[in-house]
Each structure stands twice: as C-alpha cells, then as structure tokens.
C-alpha cells in the first residue's frame, strides 16, 4: 500500500500574459483566434502568483489538479519559477478546452502520467450548438508504485463546472447536465458499480449542496452518489467545510470537491481532509489562522479558492 497525496486547487487566473478586464466579452476578444489586444486586457502582477506558489509548495501534493490555467506552457513556466522546476513535478497534463478566456484544467504530478483524455467534444443536449463542459472533464491516469515491480493506476476526472454567474437558479441546469455526464463517463469506463475501482472525481464544481433562497444544488446527484465519498465532509464540522469566499454575498461555501471512489475512500478510513487557507485574502475574516506574508485585503492572494488535500491509500 502506498500513500498518494492528492490535491485540487483553483488557482484563479494562472495566466502568463493577460487577464480579462471586467465587462469584456471574451467571445468578441478573440474572434480571429487568440490575438492579444492590449486595450482589452491588463497585465497580471507577479505577487499573487508568488503566494500561489508558496501555497502549492506547502501542500506537498504528489498529484495536483488545477483549474484556471492558461495552457501547459504557462504551467511549466509557473513550475520553473515557483515550484522548483521539472525535478519537483516531472509530469504535466493539460489540453486547451472550451472556455474562450483560456481557463483550462491541468495536472502536475510527481508520479508518471500514463493516459490523458479530453471530453470537451460532448455537446450540450439542451443546446446542440454549445459544448456541454464549460472547460473540460479531463481524464488523467497516474501510475502509483505499490510494491516491488508492482503498480496501480488511479484515474482522475478533473473538472471546472459552469459558474453561478447570472444566478444560481438560472445556471443550475447546466451543472446538473455536467454532473450527470461525469457520472456516465465513470460508468462507461468502470461499469455500473464503479465504486470498487480506483478513481477520483475532483475540481471546482461551482456549486454547494444546501438549498436556500437561491435555489437547490446542481451537483448533489454527483457529490452524494453512492459510488464516491465527499471527503471534505469527513470529520469536519459543516461550518468549517468552506473552500471559497464570495464577498458580494459574504458567503463561505464549499465549491471545491475531492470525491474518491468508495473503495479508495474506505482504504484510508483514518485520513482526514485538509482545506488550506493560508493564501486567502484578509477580507475572508472567518479564517483566523496564519497567512502568508504579503497577503492583502483582496490582493495579493494565492486565490479566491482554497486547495483541498487528501491522502489516499493505494493498494
């Protein structure tokens, strides 16, 4: 048995070049392909990414699944500048996805990546001219050594679902369809009872489980699926399960999830989840713990999301 330290982290605009100004429609910003127009973009400072790098280093993850990465070259540059280079994370996976802002999902790994599959090609059944996945559901297999000349493959389904921008109720149906498709992909790969197989569904699902005045959840069918476990709920009181702070509504919610198969979760019965908040901005006053030097009221910060970490026991 081998411990595999797995993390998911929305790094909030890990761009090498530019970030979108508020109010710019990305679909009109790159109508002829990706041609940077400096009147539409403002340069992203380096302080935030230095703190993001400090957060990643302190996570000590063997496999790090990321959201909001511009491309693989950007990720490699970040790896070189902030994480110790190829020697620290030799393996990288990423595929340009559907978001016109170049917000993609990606993976950094200390263990070999043996398979990559993009699922960005699926069309939305409710709108046949639109993609189902806002970014992608990226399948990445990693090879874990579990003994002398023995390895096991762990399959990761890395996601970044439709945001709640425009209203939770108004955008819920899209997340429901995305969640349902992720479950179908897992079943297609591992059979009707996939919980006995070594896989993890993870990422920024952009919704929470509670029903309130903003409506019901669009992801509960996935998070509460009996083939996986939401490990953030393991041993953490409900009030301490938040991974994101939205200042507009003064809301602390769990938007980031790590859902190992039931067999993987049960193999680590004593493992507890970690929600890493040292890079959160000072405006998230609910967090009273230590922060990295230089973190500001809003900026600089590591991200507006907290990484979620869990130690899997792979047999």
Per-residue pLDDT, 100: 84
Per-residue pLDDT, 248: 87
Per 3-state DSSP, the chain is made up of helix, strand and coil in percentages (nearest 5) of 20, 35, 45
pLDDT digits (tens, 9 = 90+) for 61-89: 999 999 999 999 999 999 999 999 999 99
From CA 111, how far away is CA 204, in angstroms rounded?
A: 23
Tell whether the model's pLDDT for residue 119 goes beyond 80.
yes
Per-residue pLDDT, 13: 82
Average pLDDT of the chain?
93
Share of the chain above pLDDT 90, in %: 84
In sequence order, the β-bridge partners of residue 267 are none
| Better-predicted residue by pLDDT, 227 or 21 | 227
Per-residue pLDDT, 35: 58
The lowest-confidence range among 31-35, 64-68, 161-165, 246-250 is 31-35
CA 205 to chain centre: 8
Per-residue pLDDT, 102: 81
Q: Within 13 A of 97's CA, how many CA atoms are on the CB side?
A: 31
Tell whether the model's pLDDT for residue 163 goes beyond 60.
yes
Q: Cβ atoms within 10 A of the Cβ of 58, count?
A: 14
pLDDT digits (tens, 9 = 90+) for 17-70: 555 666 777 666 666 655 555 555 555 567 888 999 999 999 999 999 999 999
Residues contacting residue 127 through CB under 8 Å, at least 6 positions apart: none
Tell whether the model's pLDDT for residue 115 goes beyond 70.
yes
Residues contacting residue 48 through CB under 8 Å, at least 6 positions apart: 12, 299, 300, 301, 302
pLDDT digits (tens, 9 = 90+) for 272-284: 999 999 999 999 9
In 3D space, the residue among 117, 254, 127, 130 whose CA is nearest the CA of residue 188 turns out to be 117
Q: Is the pTM of this model over 0.75?
A: yes
Share of the chain above pLDDT 70, in %: 91
Per-residue pLDDT, 25: 73
Beta carbons of 110 and 88 less than 8 angstroms apart: yes
Q: Cβ atoms within 10 A of the Cβ of 314, count?
A: 21
Per-residue pLDDT band at 187 (split at 50, 70, 90) = very high
Please list the alpha-helical segments (H only) found in the chain.
Answer: 26-29, 47-59, 72-82, 168-190, 220-223, 262-266
What value does the mean pLDDT take over residues 249-277? 97
């Amino acid at each position: 048995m081998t411990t595999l330290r797995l993390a998911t982290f929305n790094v909030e605009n890990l761009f090498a070049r530019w970030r979108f100004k508020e109010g710019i429609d990305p679909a009109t910003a790159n109508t002829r392909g990706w041609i940077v127009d400096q009147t539409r973009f403002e340069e992203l400072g380096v302080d935030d990414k230095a703190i993001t790098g400090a957060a990643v280093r302190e996570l000590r993850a063997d496999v790090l699944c990321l959201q909001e990465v511009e491309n693989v070259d950007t990720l490699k540059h970040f790896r070189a500048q902030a994480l110790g280079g190829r020697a620290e994370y030799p393996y990288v996976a990423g595929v340009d996805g559907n978001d016109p802002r170049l917000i993609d999902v990606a993976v950094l790994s200390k263990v070999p990546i043996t398979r990559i599959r993009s699922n960005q090609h699926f069309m939305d059944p409710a709108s046949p001219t639109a993609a189902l996945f806002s970014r992608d559901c990226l399948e990445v297999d990693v090879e874990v050594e579990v003994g002398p000349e023995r390895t096991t493959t762990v399959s990761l389904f890395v996601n970044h679902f439709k945001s709640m921008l425009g209203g939770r109720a108004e955008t819920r149906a899209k997340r429901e369809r995305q969640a349902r498709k992720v479950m179908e992909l897992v079943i297609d790969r591992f059979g009707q009872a996939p919980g006995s197989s070594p896989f993890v569904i993870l990422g920024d699902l952009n919704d929470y489980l509670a029903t309130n005045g903003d409506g019901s959840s669009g992801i509960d069918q996935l998070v509460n699926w009996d083939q996986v476990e939401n490990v953030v709920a393991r041993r953490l009181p409900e009030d301490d399960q938040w991974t994101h702070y939205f200042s507009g509504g003064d809301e602390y919610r769990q938007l980031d999830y790590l859902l190992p198969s039931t067999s993987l979760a049960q193999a680590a019965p004593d493992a507890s989840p970690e929600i890493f908040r040292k890079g959160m901005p000072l405006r998230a006053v609910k967090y009273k713990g230590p922060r990295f030097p230089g973190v500001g009221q809003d900026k600089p910060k590591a991200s507006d999301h907290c990484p979620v970490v869990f130690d899997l026991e792979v047999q």
